[in-house]
Amino acid sequence: MRHLIEIMDLSTEEIEELIATASGIIAHPEEYREVCRYKKLATLFFEPSTRTRLSFEAAMLDLGGSVLGFSEASSSSAAKGESVSDTVAVVSGYADIIAMRHPKEGAPMVAAMHSAVPIINAGDGGHNHPTQTLTDLLTIKQKKGRFDHLTIGLCGDLKFGRTVHSLIAAMSRYEGVRFVLISPEELKVPSYVKGEYIKSRGIPYTQSTSLEDVMPELDILYMTRVQRERFFSEEEYLRLRDSYILTPDKLKNAKEDLCIMHPLPRVNEISTEVDSDPRACYFEQARYGKFIRMALIMKLLEVRK
Amino acid sequence: MKIDSIRNGIVIDHIQAGSGMQIYKMLHMDDLSCSVALLRNVQSRKLGQKDIIKIDAVLDIDLDVLGYFSPNITVNIIRDGKLAEKKHIGLPARITDLLKCKNPRCITTTEQGIHHIFRLADPAARTYRCIYCDAKAE
C-alpha cells in the first residue's frame, strides 16, 4: 500500500506514469467513468479549502466512485479533541482511500502511520501539498512538452509558499533546469530548501527583488499569493502583500511562449487584465488538478482502465 | 584521581568535555542501581580534555544516540576485566523521543502518544530535522 505525503515520495518515472494516465483521461474521459465503481474516497478537511476538496471529489466522481467526509474541523470529531491517528483509524474502516488537509505540519504522515488505506496529503499547513505540485507538473508538461531545459521563475512568497518548495524539489531532478527566485528579502526561499535541492545538485539559480529585470529570461513564471494565515502578525502581512503584482505592462518583455502559472486562489498578485493574455495558464492549471488527482487515485487504489 | 577498573561493564570514552552530564541524564543513569562514575575534564591527548562514563554492569541501552551529542565518542564493552568490544559511534540516522520539535505548527505539538523522531538531514553540518514537519532540531 502506498501513500502520498510529499512529492519526493514519487520517482520521476512514477510522475511520468501519472502524467501519461492524466493525459489519457483528458483525451478520453469516457473510458475512465467506471474504473472506481464501488470505491469510496473520504475527504478529511480539517482546514477550509474550496479548490482542492472539490477537485478531489470531482476526480473520484468522474472515476465512478463515491465521496464522503467533512470540510472543516468544527464539523468533525477533532472539535471534541479526537487525535488525527484515532480519526484516521476509524475512517479507514469506512473508505478505500483518504485525502486529508490539516493545519498542522506532518498530520498526514501521522495519519499514514495509522491508516489501513492509502492517505493522500491534500495540504498540511505551510509544509507540503504534493497534489498541487503534480498539477503544476502536468501543466508544465502540457504547455511545454518537457521538464528539462527550462528557466523557471518563482515569484512572491517563497518563504512560506509550500507549493514553491515542492515545485523546486520536483523540478530539481531534471536536466538543464534553472531557477530564478523573485521575492522581497523577508520572503526568500529558506536556506535549507536551497541547500537540499538547488545547491547540492549544482543547479544554476539567481535571486532577484525585481520581476521586470528577469522577465525576458523566463519560460515559466510561477506566481504565488502572500498568505495571511502564514503570518503571526497582521502588520507584517499587510506590508508584504502587495510586493509583486503582475500586470500587462510587466509582461512587455516576456517571451512569446511564457507560461504564467499560479496555484490559486489569487488575491491581487495577478491583475485580472492578464487573464485574457494567451500566456495566462492558471485557470487551465486548476482544471488539470482534477485529472492528475484522478490518475493518482487510480494509482494508489491500484485500479486500471 | 583513581577510579577502580571494572570487570563487566561499559566505558563511554572520548565524550566531548562538558557533555558527560547530559549523556548521564539522557541515559537515565540516576535510575541505575550499579556503580556509575562520571569523570569530567580528564586529560586527553586527542581532545585536550574529555569526559568519561564508567558503568559497572553490561546494560542493554541505546548507545547509537550518543553520537548525536559527541562526534568522537567510543564505547568499550568490558567482559571479565578485558576489552571485549570497542565501538566508534557515528551520527545516528534517526533519533527517537530524545528531542522535541520546537515548530509551533508541527503535529507533534498537539497529537498525543506520538513518537518524536528526527532524521539526519546533513551529516556534514550535523543537522537533524523533524520527520513530520522538517523543522531543524534545536
Q: The domain spanning residue B73 has which CATH number? A: 3.30.70.140
pLDDT value of position A49: 86
Closest by alpha carbon to A263, among A157, A147, A182? A157
**For residue A87, what is the nearest residue in chain B, using CA coordinates?**
B111
B28 and B47 within one domain: yes
Q: Is B43 on the interface with A (CB under 8 A)?
A: no
Cis ω before A265 (30° cut-off from 0)? yes
Instruction: Point out the residue among A104, A126, A192 whose CB comes nearest to the CB of B107.
Output: A104
Query: In this predicted complex, what is the ipTM?
Result: 0.87
Q: Are A145 and A173 in contact (CB under 8 A)?
A: no
Of A44, A85, A104, which to mutate for an interface test with B (greatest number of B Cβ within 10 Å)?
A104
CB atoms near residue A92 (< 10 Å): 19
Domain with CATH 3.40.50.1370 in chain A: 7-129+288-301, 131-285
B113 and B79 within one domain: no
**For residue A127, what is the nearest residue in chain B, using CA coordinates?**
B133
pLDDT value of position A43: 97
Q: Measured between CA atoms, how close is B107 to chain A, in angstroms?
A: 5
B113 and B64 within one domain: no
Average pLDDT per block of 10 residues along chain A, 305 residues long: 97 98 97 98 92 96 97 75 93 97 96 97 92 98 97 93 91 97 90 90 95 96 85 80 88 97 92 97 97 98 94
B71 and B25 within one domain: yes
Q: Are A135 and A292 in contact (CB under 8 A)?
A: yes
Of A85, A192, A196, A199, which to mutate for an interface test with B (greatest number of B Cβ within 10 Å)?
A192
**Residues in A touching B96 (Cβ below 8 Å):** none
Looking only at the bridges linking them, the beta strands covering A220-223 and A259-261 are: parallel
Residues pairing with B36 in the sheet: B55
The residue behind cell 508544465 is A140
Angstrom CA distances, B92 to A78, B98, B118, stand at 35, 12, 10
* Coil vs helix vs strand at A211: helix
B77 and B50 within one domain: yes
Instruction: Point out the residue among B109, B111, B132 whose CB comes nearest to the CB of A83.
Output: B111
- Give the domain extent around B104: 94-130
Categorize the per-residue pLDDT at B47 as very low, low, confident or very high, splitting at 50, 70 and 90. Answer: confident
Q: Is B117 on the interface with A (CB under 8 A)?
A: no
Residue B94, pLDDT > 90, answer yes
CB contacts < 8 Å between A and B, how many? Answer: 55
pLDDT value of position A192: 83
CB pair distance less than 8 Å for A85 and B132: no
B100 and B41 within one domain: no
Higher pLDDT, A254 or B57: A254
The residue behind cell 526561499 is A189
B73 and B22 within one domain: yes
B41 and B102 within one domain: no
Q: Measured between CA atoms, how close is B127 to chain A, in angstroms?
A: 10
Interface of A with B (CB under 8 A): 83-85, 102-107, 109-110, 124-127, 192, 195-196
Closest by alpha carbon to A166, among A190, A186, A141? A190
**DSSP one-letter code for A104:** S
Please write the tens of the pLDDT for every residue from B10-39. Answer: 999 999 899 999 999 888 888 989 999 999
CB pair distance less than 8 Å for B106 and A105: yes
Sheet containing A66-70: give its strands across: A66-70, A40-45, A97-102, A119-124
Domain count, chain B: 2
Instruction: State the fold for domain A131-285.
Output: Rossmann fold (3.40.50)
B47 and B69 within one domain: yes
Crossing angle, helix A162-171 and helix A130-144, to 10 degrees?
50
B103 and B67 within one domain: no
> A7-129+288-301 has which CATH code?
3.40.50.1370
pLDDT value of position B3: 61
CB pair distance less than 8 Å for B111 and A102: no
Residue B61, pLDDT > 70, answer yes
Of A8, A105, A109, A110, which to mutate for an interface test with B (greatest number of B Cβ within 10 Å)?
A105
Residue B63 lies in a domain: yes
B82 and B98 within one domain: no
CB atoms near residue A250 (< 10 Å): 17
pLDDT value of position B2: 54
Q: Is B130 on the interface with A (CB under 8 A)?
A: yes
CA distance linking residue A56 with residue A62, whole number of Å: 10
B77 and B31 within one domain: yes
